[in-house]
Structure 1
Amino acid sequence: MHTEILEINENVCVTCQVDTRLSFNALINHLEDRVKTEHPIKAQFYKFLLDKLNQLSTSDIDITIANVEKYQEVLVLIYTILTPLVASEKDFFWAMSTPVPDKIFFSTDAFYNFYTDHKFHQRDENESTADTIEKKQIQFIYQLILKKFYNFTSAFKNEKLYTYTDPETGLNRYYSIQADTQFIDVKVNGELPELDFEEIATVMQAGKEIEVLAQLLPLNKFKLEGFTIITMEDITQNHAIHKIRSALVNHTYEREAYTPIIESLRTLAGNSKVHFGLMPFLTVNDKLVVDSNACDDSILVIASRKAGIDDQVFYDLVEEYRKDPKPIFYNKITEERTHDSQFLKIISAAGIYSYTLIPIFHNNKLAGVMELYSDHELVIDEVLLSKLKTAIPLLAQLFKYSIDAFNAQIDAVLKDKFTSLQPSVQWKFNEVALNYIRELNDTQQIPEIETVMFENTYPLFGAVDIRNSTIERNIALQQDLKALLLVLIETLKSIKEHVVLSLIDKLIYNTEEWLIRIGDYTSTNDEIMLSGFLQGEVEPFLKHVKESKSVATPAVDAYFDAVKEESGIGFQKRRELEASMQLINTSVSHYLDTAQSTLQESYPCYFSKFRTDGVEYDIYIGQSIAPERRFSNMYLKNLRLWQIRSMADIARITEGLSHKMEKPLYTTQLIFIHSNPINISFRNDERRFDVEGAYNIRYEIVKKRIDKVLIKGTTERLTQPDKIALVYFHQQEEFEYLEYIQYLQEQGSLTSEVEKLDLEELQGVSGLKALRVGVNYKK
């Protein structure tokens, strides 16, 4: 043990902002309480130390940093009582300092040697100025004051992260430095003011907490007596895992995530001779793809490219492994071994002397492999594998991201170059594809693919929307979060009956604050921050309590049952909402899919259906889509009549589903009428058919803007439940559709009243009119 003085703020002149005194009174009070409750044998030991401390406190000796060496025996006894018996002072980072950490006066060999070797007080350049140190010192003091007199746990933290590069491995190591202040008495001279903690919390967010607290609680009114315990913990493993998680969150499936993750894996291994490779298994038609940049970190891929290995040979090797994926260990690759293995020839040619392959699974399906390799002989033992074990699920998620990204990239190309090829238009794509192949064979240059176009087609647009879906989602989210927070509060209160920790009160306080915060409106940022609080603070605490206190298991299990997405109360309202929306959209989609086959029988048309919060569709019909069949306006009128009738049918279907929904929802039905034919083309820069020509683009503009249009001179939305809205420009369109409406009224599909409405001007669009008619649910 060491009693040499270590200056924490060496070479920086900072005057302590409050009067302090080294004292053991707080420890004496703590031990006197423990003596009353501890086992007699342990109590005897406490009494022995109490006698020693009481002798000091009654001897009128002023204990100072300068003369603390005289009391080394007492300090050793304090260390023995406050630390685990199995902790060796040769390995345990532990020290005692002045109440405000400025001077360390007693430390273990491990702490003293680490401190003097690394001089970590000099390494953080951002905190080397007196102003920064003084600010942290003041924060530390106010944290003690607020906790002591107001039972308020501030946002200030008594924890610091220290990083250094291990000279033996060249890899970073990370240490958490923490200050324990439980043996400090805070004394005040005079009366304390009442504080508005809502105001303090607000100024804390603005970064002005010190200025406000200095006015309310001047530090010259306070005195600190006692000592602070400083401990250090090697958190390299946890920090490396945290960095892997951060890389996944910040980059998800992006290529940039691989480099920091590989560096973190090396940190986890703690051996500079170990290198890592990562290779997700990307497939197309269940055949492996390795020429994606997502495979650039695989040493096997790199070595194969350098060796000029034929692609088919490489594919055969990997395909063979995929049939029976299991760990492979080569601690020493000899020349003799390479004679019988093409795989080892590739690895050895790259200068690799040892190689290990670990399969990574996601949902029990092979997602990729992790490679460990070195140019030295390397034994992959249980110790190294156990260090990497916690990273395996994260690597599985990384590979899943990469696989999803690759599949999305393929899908994007398909949607960029092709579309859902319906029989009515596939003939055109077949012709274009054939011409492209012919040109590709006839020239050494890559030709441009011909644009697929259909001229003079008549468009029909319809939209079935779920009313107020965004509002309903926000309401469901609020209700779920409130229910979850209430369960959490009950869980914490139940734990408090069995576990004595001040942290529980803080968690209850924070949970109640969140309950208030989400009461009126829940933003995306609120949802993310609350998720961080629950996953970063609450869940680790509950898991620890469950492991250490079996009596608290039922309460903890109740919370974790609540957060289960598939069954918990914390997702109940969202499940109900999504189930209702899914029921509506599935029913509408099924109706349209069934109707489409019937429509195609009368005359081929292009029918494109896509999901929003509801279902929208585009229909294009004309001579150019079916050049082998003669087109007539009769087919167009048939489609228009069908469109209104189908909207009435859909309204009745969705209304009839309401009794099956746990969360009743309502739909609106919208039709946009455009009488003039337009040209549509499948352009290479579009994901689907688009209109062609400047005039025709106006059709698309109107179509995209009318879903929330208001009736002119009012705040009423055109689209309403139980009604079909038909938007148009010209009076001749009104006359034609009134005939269809009258026919369907006589058939009993629509109600008798028809509204003729003028609509508000939209950006770049004026003169819109609408018909609105009710749906007869009695039919």
Structure 2
Amino acid sequence: MNTNVIKIHKNECIGCQVESSLSFRPLVEYLKDRLKTEKSVKSEFYRFLLQKIEKDEMLLNSISAEELSKYKDTLELIFTILTPLMGDEEDLFWALSTPIPDEIFFSTNAFYKFFKDHDPKNKVNKDGEPVEKKQLKFIYNIILDRFYNFTSVLRNEIIYGHINEENKLTQYYNIQTDTRFVNIKHKGDLPEINFEELGRYFQDDNELEYLIDNLPLNNFCFEGFSIISITDVTLQHSIDGIRDALVNHNYQSEAYTHVIQALKSLSGDGNLQFGLMPFLTVNDKLVFDNQEFSQSMLINSAKASNLEEEVFYSLVDKYKENPRAIFVSSINDDQISKDPFLRVLKAAGVCSYSVLPVYYNMQLAGVLEVYSDHEVVVDDKLLSRLRPAMPLIGQLFQYSIEEFDAKMDEVLMDKFTALQPSVQWKFNEAVWHFLQQKNNNSKIKEIETVTFRHMYPLFGAIDIRNSTTERNKALKEDLNVLLNSLITALTAIRKTVTLELTDKLLFNCKDWIERIGSFASSNEENQLNEFLELEVYPFLSIIKGNYPETGEIVNQYFEVIVPETGAAFANRRQLEISMQLINTEVSQYLEKSQSNLQASYPCYFAKFRTDGVEYDIYIGQEIAPEKPFDLLYLKNIRLWQLTSMVDIARLSKSLIGEMPRPLETTQLIFIHSNAIDISFRNDERRFDVEGAYNIRYEVVKKRIDKVLIKGTSERLTQPHKIAMVYFNPDEAKEYLEYIKYMQVQGYLSDDLEHLELDELQGVSGLKALRVGVKYVDGKESAKKLEPKELKSIEKEIAKMLQS
């Protein structure tokens, strides 16, 4: 036992001083009370200690911590009655301190060593709260409990985290203060406390403000001593840390990091590392997404060693058939020959590797990896420490699996189906009504048709200019390369092999080169393909087989016609890359923009890929019954439509330098003022218009992309222009105001055209507005309309429309 005085706070609590005296009088009173009722042999021991304390009069009065070193025998007797009889003071963290813990005057050797060895710089979980504030809370906590029977949520304990210098792991200790031998006296009458008001202060964590005003400490006096005990709670705190990670963190990133750190503390072995590998599946086949949903050493090692995915998947599939714990304390050549996957681990510097299966609701959810760059034996002791964490890891894996599945569903709905969040609520209602009919045993009917009535439509099209012409041009250029390469090969073969058929094929190739320039239909292309597949390729295969010396010539030709890499497909590949670049950038722009639209008022937004990108938007009251619809939202979305076309025109122009084959886009808007009805067609999984009048809208929007200006051969849609088609002049009035404002702002050119259009099949009376997009000159990049600018435009347009 140790009687050295330990200063706990080192004069950090100047502002929270309260009158106190170190005394054993409360213990004497306790012993006297116990002797009145105690009938066992303990009474003799209590009596002996009581006599010894009373014999030393100094112990009954106020005494300093330093003076108590003279009474070590008495203090050891106190230790004996206040601790379990079998407790070993070399392992027990126990001490006596002043009434308000500030000085420790008697402690076990284990406690003294703990305090001296734990350098404050290695302390973790610093909450930043001043020591003085903590001490004040401690003092008031005792006062409220003793005098007002008010127990706050604060307990007289502290969780202390400390980094072990030997293994570099964090260990956690529960420091508790027992104040049963502290008497508190109050001078005068106790003041009344408004506990309802105090409760509000507690909620705001400023209860001290109230207590200091209403319960001044200078009216209280503390007498006696406190007992401090420390318990290692690393195991429980680690488990709590895993549970906290499940509740309070993002499963794809933070939770895994916190869980792995908690497992390290739980193991107590600084040489151990942990990996988490949930089993994610797509179409019941395992997939591994290491960046988001797992932190696995095996996956990382397999990727670093370029292990083929199929090999890796087969290993895991085999393990799933017979899940079991695998322990490899030291990876050697014999084990590698039995389990080849150990080779990639050894290459990554892993010496020992173990796998523990993790279950959720009796189903295998993944595995926990335990590995080290040292030789480590996973024994029963380690397993018993890890066992409480396994159900929580199973829950984490299940959350990750559900999160992964939800992510898949979100992208699936966004990219491959017409169902969107803005309309999903109505589909949910339809499903619920269908299930209700089924549960009520009523005659099962077809699920009801989902319809939205009185919706305002908006249509826009961004088309790649002359895409058909560009395709034909690229095709002809590639066919020229193909036929010239074939002529080269046949000419080389003729020098080695004498066959009249070779001359006939050469004649056909030269004839096809002349015919390519006048290709007018796909039928001619098919004829060329038949010539190649039925005459040329069989000929080359036979020649290669019978005359090995021609093998290199034939192989070189077949390399030319490989679609992915061959020169005979280079122009079509370049064209496809250019078209994909435009479509991808435009699609991403629209997706990002439409999310902002949904924030103002929910709408249905459907995007389609053609040679460019087309979209339909429907907005109206039935999309969001709980949110009142106003034409202001329609005006807002029409303004967005025009401004977005400016952005897209600028965007596509900026991409020209990145395209292997430069392409341009045209921008088209169809203005339609009247509301229409739309219904979801279950067979085609898309929305379509209802009624004869509404169908006319659908017909017009599908035909206007190639419409000509009346009396000319000029197409309405042109690069660097925005075309707006309409029937009624009143429909154009609103857009004229938008155009005027955007011209002033420098987004549109001063070249507005009012045009009449040629009749289309079954459609007459079409008119159009066409205006040029203004680009930024010089080295400046094209300026996009920012959200603040859009809001400014909206306000100005709103004023114009109201006037």
- Normalised TM-score (structure 2): 0.55
d(CA) in 2 for partners of 1:94, 1:582: 65
CA contact (8 A) 1:161 1:176 kept: yes
**2:107 matched residue in structure 1:** 107
Per-residue deviation, residues 166-187 of structure 1 (Å, max 9, x unmatched): 1111111121212111110001
Per-residue deviation, residues 54-75 of structure 1 (Å, max 9, x unmatched): 3345987653323111221121
State the secondary structure of the residue aligned to 1:141.
Answer: helix
d(CA) in 1 for partners of 2:439, 2:382: 54
d(CA) in 2 for partners of 1:320, 1:123: 46
CA contact (8 A) 1:163 1:172 kept: yes
For 1:117-516, list aligned pairs within 5 A: 117-120=117-120, 132-294=130-292, 297-419=295-417
**What's the offset of the Cα at 1:93?**
0.7
**What's the offset of the Cα at 1:248?**
1.7
1:706 aligns with 2:625: yes
1:586 aligns with one of 435, 442, 454 = 435
State the secondary structure of the residue aligned to 1:706.
Answer: coil
Q: Which amino acid aligns with 2:354?
A: T
d(CA) in 1 for partners of 2:58, 2:290: 77
For 1:12-161, list aligned pairs within 5 A: 12=12, 14=14, 17-38=17-38, 40-56=40-56, 62-120=62-120, 132-161=130-159
The alpha-carbon distance between structure 1 residues 134 and 691, as it changes in their structure 2 partners (threshold 3 A), is closer
d(CA) in 2 for partners of 1:692, 1:246: 42
The alpha-carbon distance between structure 1 residues 308 and 61, as it changes in their structure 2 partners (threshold 3 A), is closer
CA contact (8 A) 2:277 2:368 kept: yes
CA contact (8 A) 1:8 1:121 kept: no
**What's the offset of the Cα at 1:594?**
4.8
Per-residue deviation, residues 464-511 of structure 1 (Å, max 9, x unmatched): 999xxxxxxxxxxxxxxxxxxxxxxxxxxxxxxxxxxxxxxxxxxxxx
**What's the offset of the Cα at 1:678?**
8.1
d(CA) in 2 for partners of 1:32, 1:95: 23
**What's the offset of the Cα at 1:388?**
0.8
d(CA) in 1 for partners of 2:335, 2:617: 71
CA contact (8 A) 2:457 2:616 kept: no
**What's the offset of the Cα at 1:5?**
0.7
d(CA) in 2 for partners of 1:60, 1:255: 60
CA contact (8 A) 2:460 2:616 kept: no
State the secondary structure of the residue aligned to 1:359.
Answer: strand
d(CA) in 2 for partners of 1:85, 1:66: 27
Q: Which amino acid aligns with 2:408?
A: I
**1:498 matched residue in structure 2:** none
CA contact (8 A) 2:53 2:59 kept: no
d(CA) in 1 for partners of 2:85, 2:58: 29
**What's the offset of the Cα at 1:137?**
2.7
d(CA) in 1 for partners of 2:5, 2:235: 31
Per-residue deviation, residues 47-104 of structure 1 (Å, max 9, x unmatched): 2222223334598765332311122112111111111122211111111111111111
d(CA) in 1 for partners of 2:252, 2:190: 55
The alpha-carbon distance between structure 1 residues 678 and 161, as it changes in their structure 2 partners (threshold 3 A), is closer
CA contact (8 A) 1:277 1:370 kept: yes
**1:9 matched residue in structure 2:** 9
d(CA) in 2 for partners of 1:90, 1:271: 23
State the secondary structure of the residue aligned to 2:338.
Answer: coil
**What's the offset of the Cα at 1:237?**
1.5
Per-residue deviation, residues 161-204 of structure 1 (Å, max 9, x unmatched): 32222111111112121211111000111111221111111223
The alpha-carbon distance between structure 1 residues 257 and 586, as it changes in their structure 2 partners (threshold 3 A), is same
d(CA) in 1 for partners of 2:428, 2:351: 63
Seq. identity, %: 41
State the secondary structure of the residue aligned to 2:451.
Answer: strand
CA contact (8 A) 1:356 1:373 kept: yes
State the secondary structure of the residue aligned to 2:17.
Answer: coil
d(CA) in 2 for partners of 1:152, 1:354: 55
Which stretches in structure 1 are left out of the alignment for 5+ residues? 422-451, 453-459, 467-580, 600-606, 608-616, 620-671, 711-728, 738-762, 765-779
Q: What is the total number of aligned residue pairs between the two structures?
A: 495
For 1:715-754, list aligned pairs within 5 A: none
**What's the offset of the Cα at 1:585?**
7.2
Q: Which amino acid aligns with 2:622?
A: K
Q: Larger deviation: 78-87 or 98-107? A: 78-87
State the secondary structure of the residue aligned to 2:173.
Answer: strand
Per-residue deviation, residues 128-163 of structure 1 (Å, max 9, x unmatched): 99xx33333322222222111111123444222322
Per-residue deviation, residues 99-124 of structure 1 (Å, max 9, x unmatched): 11111100000011111222449958
d(CA) in 1 for partners of 2:397, 2:337: 33
d(CA) in 2 for partners of 1:262, 1:593: 55
Per-residue deviation, residues 316-335 of structure 1 (Å, max 9, x unmatched): 11111000101011112222
1:618 aligns with one of 437, 451, 468 = 451
Q: Larger deviation: 381-390 or 250-259? A: 250-259
